A and B are shown apart, each in its own frame.
Chain A
Amino acid sequence: MDDRDILELLSEDARHSTADIARLTDRSEAAVEEAIADLEDRGVIRGYTAVVDWDAVVDDDERVRAHVECNVTLDRETSYRDVARRLAGFPEVEGLRLVSGDYDFALEVERDSMREVSRFVSDKVAPLPEITQTVTHYIMETYKQSGHRFDDGDDDDRLSVTP
């Protein structure tokens, strides 16, 4: 059976209980458990995470996130994959993607201060032999992430009982 519906439900809310996923997809609970285990084993599901609005965490006003653009130069012995492996190894790198356009890699970096972010980029990323240029963009405000809006969205202004 196609497990796309299970993946969609978990992508919407990874905390759906197995019982609820079974009800929502008209399967048995055992079948859902088995399908999820299989998706995890095959590496289709890589992990479960919460979408956090860190700005709403009172004592977290120091947390700084940045998008870092990286240009690289490749040679016969070095592929994008090799560079990616080196970059992904840093725990400071939360996300890493190869993109089309003016630069090659898009990094998501998260640290406790702007100073730490810039030090990481200048001390760890820029010196790598394949990196030719970096541009750091500090994130000033998040409005939407992983499909979740960080404002209150649309109010439910419906009447409580209507025909």
Chain B
Amino acid sequence: MTFDPSERVRSVPPSGIRRFFELAEEMDDVISLGVGEPDFSAPWAAREAAIGALERGQTSYTANRGKRELRAAIAANARRWDLDYDPDEEVLVTAGASEAIDVACRALVDPGDTVAVAQPCYVSYRPAVTFAGGEVLDVPTRAADDFALTPAALAAAGADEADLLLYCYPNNPTGATMDRSEMAAVADFCREHDLAVLSDEIYADLTYEGDHVSIATFDGMRERTIVFNGFSKAYAMTGLRLGYALGPSEVITAMNRVHQYTMLSAPTTAQHAAIEALDGCREAVAEMREQYDRRRNFVLSRFEEMGVDCFEATGAFYVFPECPGDDAEAFAEELLAAESVAMVPGTAFGAGGEGHLRASYAAGLDELRDAMDRIERFLG
């Protein structure tokens, strides 16, 4: 008897980022603009809270939904974005926002259901839908719209017939954000066509122009939206694996049924860190955000000076310049070989990413300066 991977697993190709990762890993002294996580460590107070919890021997499971104290802190924090959720019924703490999205797909998607996915997007969305037995409907966003999701893009893709819509704003990989009027138009489309929404807002705190707007704040949207967020990005806690979902009681209950049999509960140590992160690390988060904003200005200026077209990304820690060559994958490989600078080709993030490169500015200023000098030399 040999193991035979399931059809579902076989139908998911290896991550498009994987091959590029292997190329970069083989080289010494790579300056990487290819990293999708903060270059900061978690705020010290949060790390101390984790250490303290370990010292006190708090190493047991928590409630399936997460510690009550953490859920209360998450609900209180969400009010900053005008989101109002009951910590007892409407919050689920998960092992990263990725788990929350996977659990939502498994809780909501039946075989044959269609999930419209705005792209380019984070690499785990398509597999999450596929593993749940659903069909992905590609909804490419356009450079001409600054990579915002529009009713026109949804209609052109046929999303009016879909069951669910999944997107991420502020966006990885483009750095795009959506303002109130753009989001209102998407909300109208969803109501009109009875679409439920999986709204990944993991980068909400990293919005640099104006305030983050959640689709769940529009009339008639709260009952049809699950909001995903977590501690990986703004709190620089990627490796602690902690995220959460906010949604109506019945959907959180359904998700919890999957979560409790998969994960039982999110990592306990990380939950202690997260309570402190929400309670005592706002200043550290604001400081990191300010650093990112400056680097964003820096990177955008340097690309502009080089004559590389790059729309003004206003969120997350990515810019998404147009590739100066014809083929972004070839360009990225040549740049890596010639100057040891890693940028990820936009095609790794799905439809709509062609002809673009993702440059992460989650790197120190010295590294960014060096990387930009090398790119400039490469373009010579």
| Segment touching B, from A20-28, A75-83, A85-93, A100-108 | A20-28
Say yes or no for A159: interface residue by CB 8 A criterion.
yes
Interface residues on A, range: 10 to 19
Cβ–Cβ contact A161 & B302, under 8 A: no
Residues in B whose Cβ lies below 8 Å from that of A25 = 294, 297
Cβ–Cβ contact A163 & B32, under 8 A: no
A160 and B21 in contact (CB under 8 A), knowing A23-B297, A25-B297?
yes
Cβ–Cβ contact A161 & B342, under 8 A: yes
CB nearest to A13 among chain B residues: B365
Residues in A whose Cβ lies below 8 Å from that of B11 = none
Cβ–Cβ contact B41 & A163, under 8 A: no
Interface centre among B41, B122, B295, B349 (most CB of A within 10 A): B41
Cβ–Cβ contact A163 & B301, under 8 A: no
Residues in A whose Cβ lies below 8 Å from that of B344 = 161
Say yes or no for A154: interface residue by CB 8 A criterion.
yes
Residues in B whose Cβ lies below 8 Å from that of A22 = 301
**How many residue pairs bridge A and B at CB < 8 Å?**
61
Cβ–Cβ contact B297 & A158, under 8 A: no
Residues in A whose Cβ lies below 8 Å from that of B349 = 163
How many residues of chain B get a CB closer than 8 Å to chain A's CBs?
30
Residues in A whose Cβ lies below 8 Å from that of B295 = 24
Q: Which B residues between 28 and 44 are near A, CB-CB below 8 angstroms? A: 30, 32, 34-37, 39, 41
Say yes or no for B298: interface residue by CB 8 A criterion.
yes
Cβ–Cβ contact A162 & B342, under 8 A: no
Give Cα A87 to B344, complex, Å: 59
Say yes or no for A156: interface residue by CB 8 A criterion.
yes
- Interface flags, A138-162, vs B, CB<8A=1, else 0: 0000000000000000101011111
Say yes or no for B123: interface residue by CB 8 A criterion.
yes
Candidates B30, B36, B365; contact of A163 at CB < 8 Å: B36
CB nearest to A22 among chain B residues: B301
Cβ–Cβ contact A161 & B297, under 8 A: no
Candidates B24, B298, B369; contact of A160 at CB < 8 Å: B24
Say yes or no for B244: interface residue by CB 8 A criterion.
no
Cβ–Cβ contact B123 & A163, under 8 A: yes
Residues in A whose Cβ lies below 8 Å from that of B77 = none
Cβ–Cβ contact B39 & A158, under 8 A: yes
Residues in A whose Cβ lies below 8 Å from that of B20 = 161
Residues in B whose Cβ lies below 8 Å from that of A161 = 17, 20-21, 24-25, 32, 34-35, 342, 344
Q: Which A residues between 26 and 42 are near B, CB-CB below 8 angstroms? A: 26
Q: Which A residues between 9 and 59 are near B, CB-CB below 8 angstroms? A: 9, 13, 20, 22-26
Say yes or no for B15: interface residue by CB 8 A criterion.
yes
Cβ–Cβ contact B35 & A160, under 8 A: yes
Residues in A whose Cβ lies below 8 Å from that of B298 = 20, 23-24
B337 vs chain A, min Cβ distance (A) = 14
B21 vs chain A, min Cβ distance (A) = 4
Say yes or no for B59: interface residue by CB 8 A criterion.
no
Residues in A whose Cβ lies below 8 Å from that of B123 = 163
Residues in A whose Cβ lies below 8 Å from that of B297 = 23-26
Residues in A whose Cβ lies below 8 Å from that of B301 = 22-23, 26
Candidates A9, A23, A26, A160; contact of B34 at CB < 8 Å: A160
Give Cα A76 to B294, complex, Å: 51
Cβ–Cβ contact A162 & B35, under 8 A: yes
B332 vs chain A, min Cβ distance (A) = 10
B174 vs chain A, min Cβ distance (A) = 14
Give Cα A53 to B298, complex, Å: 29
A75 vs chain B, min Cβ distance (A) = 44
Cβ–Cβ contact A163 & B24, under 8 A: no
Cβ–Cβ contact B369 & A156, under 8 A: no
Residues in A whose Cβ lies below 8 Å from that of B34 = 160-162
Give Cα A5 to B298, complex, Å: 14
CB nearest to B173 among chain A residues: A163
Residues in B whose Cβ lies below 8 Å from that of A154 = 41
Residues in B whose Cβ lies below 8 Å from that of A158 = 35, 37, 39
Say yes or no for B58: interface residue by CB 8 A criterion.
no
A-B contact pairs, 24 of them (CB 8 A): A5-B294, A20-B298, A20-B369, A23-B298, A24-B294, A25-B297, A26-B301, A158-B35, A158-B39, A160-B21, A160-B32, A160-B34, A161-B24, A161-B25, A161-B34, A161-B35, A162-B34, A162-B35, A162-B36, A162-B37, A163-B36, A163-B123, A163-B124, A163-B172
Besides the known contacts A160-B25, A160-B35, 18 further A-B residue pairs in the complex with CB atoms under 8 A apart: A9-B294, A20-B369, A22-B301, A24-B297, A25-B297, A158-B37, A158-B39, A159-B35, A160-B24, A161-B21, A161-B24, A161-B25, A161-B32, A161-B342, A161-B344, A162-B21, A162-B37, A163-B349
CB-based closest 10 A-B pairs: A23-B301, A161-B34, A161-B21, A163-B123, A24-B294, A160-B24, A162-B36, A160-B32, A23-B298, A26-B297
